[in-house]
Every structure is written in C-alpha cells, then in structure tokens.
Amino acid sequence: MKTGEFSIKNTIRAVAAVTVSSLLLSCASAPQEPESNEFRLTLLHIDDHHSTLAPKQQTLVWGEQEWQVEAGGFPRVGAQIKALRAANENVLTLHAGDALTGSLYFTLFGSEADARMMNNVCFDAFTIGNHEFDTGDAGLAEFLRQLGTASCPTAKLGANIKPEVGKSPLTPEREWQMFQPYTIVERSGEEIAIIGLDIASKTKKSSQPDETTEFLDELETARRYVAEVQQQGIEKIVLLTHIQYDRDKELVQQLSGVDVVIGGDSHTLLGDFSQFGMKASGSYPTELTNADGDKVCIGHAYQYSLVVGELQAVFDGDKVQTCGGRPHYLLSDNIQVSDGIVTTYAPIRTALQESGVFSFIEPDSELQSMLEDYQGKVEDFSAEVLAQVPEQICSQEIDLPRRDGCANIMSSSAHRLVAEAFLHSVPEADFAIQNGGGVRSDISRGDFTVGDAFTVLPFANTLVKLELSGSEFKQSMEEALAYSVSDGGSTRAYPYGAGIRYSVDLTKEKGSRVSDLQVWDKGSNSWQPMTARATYIMVTNSFIAGGQDGYDTFYRISERGRARNTGIDYAESLVNYAKAQEVLKRPEDFATQSYVPAGGN
C-alpha cells in the first residue's frame, strides 16, 4: 500500500502538469489528432467459497427435462481465472470474503488448504469476511499468515476492522500489522485503489471475533478512505466489500468517487439464468450511479466455488463509461439426463455454451493435484454410514418460500432434527435451541454418513447447557428476533427448537414478538406453559451461548456462571443421534407454532 507518499507524488505531478501545459501551448497552432483516454479494466472475482474446494453436482432444468452435471470446485475456479487473465489486459483478481468454514476441508485442515489453493490462483486482493472470524482473531491471524507469497503478495483488506493493538493476534505490535484498509495497484500506468469493507454488525454479533475487536460503520469508513486515496491523486476506486448485494447498492448511491464494487456475503447470483430453471437477483454487472451521478459497476459471484465473475469497466479518463462482462458458472462438459433417454446431448450443450452465463472448463491440473492431497483424508473420514433417510429433510429458512421436494410446512425440518440431536446428547435438558445459520445444508435421501453430519453442521461449535428462568429465555428470544430484522443483522439468527413451542409476530414491537411459550414436561408427557420465575435447563450451541446472533442474555447467563460447556461437538451430537435412530425421518412437529413476518401476511 502506498501511504504517506502523496505529498511527493503530488509535487511530481504538479511539475509534470506545468511541463505538459508548456508543451501544449507551444504546439497550439499545430493540428492535433484527438487522443483516446479509454482504459479497460477487467476484474475477475469470487466470493463466499466457504472452504468448498471440491465440485458439486448441479441440477439444471432445460427443455422440460432435468439434467445433472458436475459444477464448480476450486480447480475449475483456478482454470477459469488463469484463462481469463491470459485473454485480457489490465486484470485485477479479487476475492470478496468468506473464504473459510463450511466444509470438511476446513474442519480437518483449518485454513491451510484454502490458503494453499488461493496462493496458486494468486489474488491481488482479499477482503476479510465475517466467517474469517469464526475461530477468533487468532484463527484469522493464522490464515492471513498463510495467505500470500513472495511471488504473489495478496493484499489483505479490512478498512473498518479495528483490533485492539497489543491485545489482538491481528495487531500484536501496531495498527494495520496483518491487513490494510486499502491497497493501490498499477495497470498500464493507471493507479487503482482497492478499499476493503466487512459487514460490521453481523461480524460482531454473528461470528466470533475477540471481544475487544471493533467494527466501524461501513459508509463512514468508505467515505474516509475514498477521500484519503483521492488526496493521493487516485480517482479510479474499487470497493471490495463483504456487506451484501442490497447494501452495496445502497452504499454506492451515498458515496462520491466510487467506480466499481465487487461484493460478497449475500451469496448473490447475478445474470440471466432463467432458461435453466435458476433465479438470479439482478443483472451482471448491475449498473447504478454514485452520489456524483457517475456510473458504477457492481459484481457478485454467487457462492461455493461455482462462479467466476468477469467484470469489464471501461473508463474515459477517471469516469466509467460502460459496464460489461459476464458471470462464468463453471461446468464439466459431461452432462447426463436425470430421467429418461435422449439420443443426443448436443442441444443442451449448445444452449449452455450460448447462454452467456455458463462455461465449460476442465479443472486446473496443479490445483487438482492439491485437492487430491486432502481429498482422500476427507473421503476416509466421511465414509461411515450412520443411518438411512427415506425422504429429503430440508433446511428452509423461516421467511423464504417453501422448496420443491421439502415438507410443505412453515418451519425447517433439518433444524428441528438438529435440535432433537442436542437433546439426545444432553438428556437432562428441558429443551434445545439452534439458530438458523448454524445448519448449512439439507439432509439428502439415502445414506446419511459422518461426512453428511459435518456438512450439515460445519462450524467449530460445542454443546452448552444453560440454567435460566422463563423470563430470561423470553428476553433472549426477543433480542435475537430484533437482531434478525435489524439493518446489518441476520435472518439466520431465527431460533429453531425441540422440547419448546412458541408463536412469533415480527410486526409487533420488540419485547412483544414472542408469545405462547410452552415446554414439554417429561413427567406428564404434555406441553406446559413456560412460567417467568421457573428455572429450566436449555442446551444450545456455543456460538449463541456466547451471545452471538443477538442472544445477549445467553451471554450474561454464561458470565454469571450458569452455563457449562459439555465439550460435545455439535456435529458429533448429530452423528450419535443418527446412529441411535438408524432411520432419520422427516419431523412433523415444530417449535414455531405460528409466524407473522415483518411485512405482515
């Protein structure tokens, strides 16, 4: 990063400007051909890959049939980026955060595998996402030490992240020790500033940064550093953000000077995928205007190593004239029909090739070799079959439309089953609570394996018992629901449970959103009203027991000595439950008895 150099640089620029002016005056009488100030910048980008290094099976709907094809995987990401880098000039390669957590590659190897593969691809800049803090400041510090090499010095960014100097492993001796607020890169003589932003409230409340680490307001921070780079004479400005697509759109319209936003966190698919049964959230790239009325190009690249974004910003001087490019949804060319027989696959291949959003690409051989270094250990760990699943058990967020193939119910079957597993591991508990964000996948029909359990519950959480009163439980529920609908909060804070019932009305004021609380009484085998002064034992995961996702009262209870960490890994509880059940059936009863969303019915 070039900081502290702008006074010398501006002096040089001033002298150069005088010299150029004199030359122009001396040649004023001679006819001049107009010079083009056009500068084309290509931004290749991914976000939210969440330690998803292996490919996935993708279902596409086309021609009134379903098709299966292998999609994504980090070796394909690398191959696509390397091909596009070779085909374009003035390229920036960017990662918009949440590289870590979410697969067995992280569970078994920490950040090592992700960093090794990212170093092979070689990103110019990476912005820190909320999940980079899932193992605290120390875990992030380890990842940042692994990320970047002498031949690939990836800039690590986080302008609004403020660890305490001398206390956090991120700043043991000084501010900006392990990451920077921005970096400045040069392409064809043009200087470009890249400013990194993380989602402030969500990271503080929905991840596990050290208590003394602060997260500053995104808009105020962006204004500060846009002004700082402009003082250095730099007018081509990229925001590399992990603050969600809708918030990106709100932010740029309040900022001056910003030209491009490459974003993440919301797992947003952009582009026209409608021909293949997929719904996107907007056009790729999305075009808006900033506070100056100048064009801004916005790009997001979905999730889980499935998409590489190729955004083309054409500048005239220091202003964007056109936004272009496309997403590359990465596919194998081995396509199979899901059901039935076809005589030729040429039509579906042609449709995908001409779609402007899908790309056939083979995995990069170096990255594939790296993946195989880890893949065998992952497969060995994953292989044990624990139970059979007669029909798919879906993870469905409370406020989203029901999905085909899932139970036509309001709540989430996978979350309910996870809460049942908690109670199985801690039978002395009266009830269990699991937040929405801790369950990360469906439970598919067929064999349920150890690997499946750790895919459903991929984070480093343990089970915690809390002793609390009925009034304390209600208060914490109200806090979490308030956070779930707050700006910068997360709907994944929503509580799912077993042994507990409640009704939720988000149109009401905070403090009045939860009603009809009932607890299953094991003695009478009946539902009984929860009473404010009675004491209950609740089991939950260590994440929300520590006050994250807005569950502040749980944290205060823990601080007062009324919590005990059982040491049972929350995924291990699902492993043990599945073994005991032998057959995992789709739940029929749910904690949420009625639900009114924030917008009403």
Written as one string, the DSSP assignment of 423-438 is HHHSTT-SEEEEEGGG
Q: What is the mean pLDDT of residues 22-35?
A: 43
The pLDDT score that the predictor gives to residue 30 is 46
pLDDT for 12 beyond 60? no
Q: What is the pLDDT of residues 242-290, one digit of tens each?
A: 999 999 999 999 999 999 999 999 999 999 999 998 989 999 999 999 9
In angstroms, the CA 207 to CA 132 distance is: 8
**pLDDT for position 488:** 75
* C-alpha closest to that of 214 among 244, 175, 265: 175
Looking at the chain, the whole-number percentage of residues with pLDDT higher than 70 is: 94
pLDDT at 565: 85
User: pLDDT class for 4, splitting at 50, 70, 90?
Assistant: very low
Number of other CB atoms surrounding residue 177 within 10 Å:
16
Q: What is the pLDDT of residue 35?
A: 60
Region at 245 (left for phi over 0; alpha for psi -120 to 50; beta for the rest): alpha
What pLDDT was estimated at residue 219?
A: 98
Query: Which stretch of 132-141, 248-257, 450-459, 487-496 has the lowest confidence by average pLDDT?
Result: 487-496
Structural contact between residues 394 and 407, judged by C-beta atoms closer than 8 angstroms: yes
Q: How confident is the model at residue 601 (pLDDT cuts 50, 70, 90)?
A: low
**pLDDT at residue number 295:** 98
Token reading at 596: 């009114």
pLDDT of residue 28: 40
**Nearest in space to 435 (alpha carbons), one of 414, 409, 450:** 414
- For residue 32, what pLDDT is reported? 52
550 pLDDT above the threshold of 50: yes
Q: For residues 551 and 483, what is the distance between their CA atoms, to the nearest angstrom?
A: 9
Q: How far is CA 491 from CA 161, 244, 281, 352, in A?
A: 23, 13, 18, 34
Question: pLDDT category, 37, cuts 50, 70, 90?
Answer: confident
Pairing verdict, β 65-71 and 56-62: antiparallel
Going by their DSSP bridges, the two strands 319-337 and 358-360 should be labelled as parallel
- How confident is the model over 108-124, as pLDDT tens digits? 999 999 999 999 999 99
Measured N-to-C along each axis, helices 245-252 and 218-231 cross at an angle, to the nearest 10 degrees, of: 50
pTM of the model: 0.78
From residue 214, alpha-carbon distances to 199, 210, 211, 564 in Å are 12, 9, 8, 27
Residue 10 in this model has a pLDDT that exceeds 80: no
CA 56 to chain centre: 17
Q: Tokens for 379?
A: 């497969």
Identify the residue with better confidence: 458 or 393: 393
pLDDT at 583 over 90: yes
Residue 285, preceding peptide bond in cis (omega within 30° of 0): yes
User: What is the pLDDT averaged over residues 16-26?
Assistant: 36
pLDDT in tens, 493-543: 999 999 999 999 999 999 999 999 999 999 999 999 999 999 999 999 988
Task: Give first-to-last CA distance, the chain, whole Å.
Answer: 51
- For the segment 172-194, the average pLDDT, to the nearest whole number, is 98
Contacts (Cβ under 8 Å, ≥6 apart) of 535 = 467, 468, 469
Residue 471: the pLDDT is 97
Mean pLDDT of the chain: 91
Q: How far apart are CA 324 and CA 287, in angstroms?
A: 9
Is 362 within 8 Å of 79 (Cβ atoms)?
Answer: yes
pLDDT for the residue numbered 107: 87
Residue 9 has pLDDT above 60, yes or no: no
Which of 30-44, 164-178, 302-316, 521-535 has the weakest average pLDDT? 30-44
Question: Which residue type occupies 391?
Answer: E
Q: What is the mean pLDDT of residues 145-160?
A: 97
The predicted model gives 466-488 an average pLDDT of: 93
What pLDDT score does 3 carry? Answer: 39
Determine the Cα–Cα distance for residues 363 and 80; give it in Å rounded to an integer: 8
Contact present, 570 and 503 (Cβ < 8 Å): no
| Each residue's pLDDT tens digit, 421-450 | 999 999 999 999 999 989 989 999 999 999
Q: Output the CA–CA distances (angstroms, integers) from residue 23 to 14, 189, 201, 405, in the order listed.
A: 14, 21, 54, 73
Rounded Cα distance between 409 and 27, Å, is: 78
Smallest CA-to-CA distance from 125 within 188, 178, 194, 192 is with: 194
Walk me through the domains of the chain, giving residue ranges and CATH numbers: 35-374 (3.60.21.10), 383-596 (3.90.780.10)
Kindly state the tokens that stand for 400.
């989203």
Smallest CA-to-CA distance from 50 within 96, 100, 114 is with: 100
pLDDT tens digits along 362-376: 999 999 999 999 999
Q: Out of 45-49, 59-63, 179-183, 332-336, pick the least confident.
A: 59-63
